[in-house]
Amino acid sequence: GQSLEQPSEVTAVEGAIVQINCTYQTSGFYGLSWYQQHDGGAPTFLSYNGLDGLEETGRFSSFLSRSDSYGYLLLQELQMKDSASYFCAVRAPYNQGGKLIFGQGTELSVKP
Amino acid sequence: DTGVSQDPRHKITKRGQNVTFRCDPISEHNRLYWYRQTLGQGPEFLTYFQNEAQLEKSRLLSDRFSAERPKGSFSTLEIQRTEQGDSAMYLCASSPDRGDQPQHFGDGTRLSIL
């Protein structure tokens, strides 16, 4: 089977740094993606790790360790607008369709 | 880049009725995916198309569900004889035919079964 685990909710204050962890068990792996979703909105792509290491995109960074089947999303200088659900998703191998298998999501609440 | 467009945004129907949703992917994106999302859960894969060919269907896609992408551009998802359990957000995503490119999602169609 395939499964991903991430915390259900995280709370942090404005300006702080927060890390959302994700562990996965999958039969096929082509990378770990992170998506942000505000209430009622579309999942928005944040970051992708195909290889081990850190990827940085502005205030957001994502890390992957394939040997540990583990990744995280790091959000810095938190802003109120960062309050949303964050999903990690394993990407199936591209020659197998490249579908995304999502975790259940982490609801991030940013407090003033 | 106008993004992935889905229509309608909301659909309310009575149990037993048929419904059809439409997805217009980002132009020139060869791959098109359908997902379903229920409250508090992550999206779940339903099916995907490479151009006009439907190459994979999830076991979640019962016989009441059918999807098409007749010309390799827009796609439709039809649910026949809707049931209460079909209430969900139906999301469409598209991506280029390259392994390192992300999937871009539409705003979804929220289906409510009365």
Longest dimension (CA), chain A: 46
**pLDDT of the residue at A34:** 97
* Interface touch B33/A100, C-beta < 8 Å: yes
Q: Average pLDDT of B74-84? A: 97
Predicted confidence (pLDDT) at residue B103 exceeds the cutoff of 80? yes
Cα separations in angstroms, A31 against A24, A62, B73: 11, 12, 27
Low-confidence ranges of chain A (pLDDT < 50): none
Residue B2 pLDDT level (bands cut at 50, 70, 90): confident
B36 compared with A92, residue with greater pLDDT:
B36
Q: Return the percent helix, strand and coil in chain B, to nearest 5.
A: 5, 50, 50
Q: Which of B43, B95, B104 sits opposite A102 (nearest CB)?
A: B43
Is the distance from CB of B71 to CB of B79 less than 8 angstroms?
A: no
* Interface touch B99/A44, C-beta < 8 Å: no
Predicted confidence (pLDDT) at residue B98 exceeds the cutoff of 90? no
**pLDDT of the residue at B99:** 66
B35 contact A CB<8A = yes
Predicted confidence (pLDDT) at residue B77 exceeds the cutoff of 60? yes
Longest dimension (CA), chain B: 41
Q: Average pLDDT of B46-66? A: 92
Predicted confidence (pLDDT) at residue B1 exceeds the cutoff of 60? no
Q: Which chain B positions have a beta carbon within 8 Å of A103's beta carbon?
A: 42
Q: Average pLDDT of B41-55? A: 94
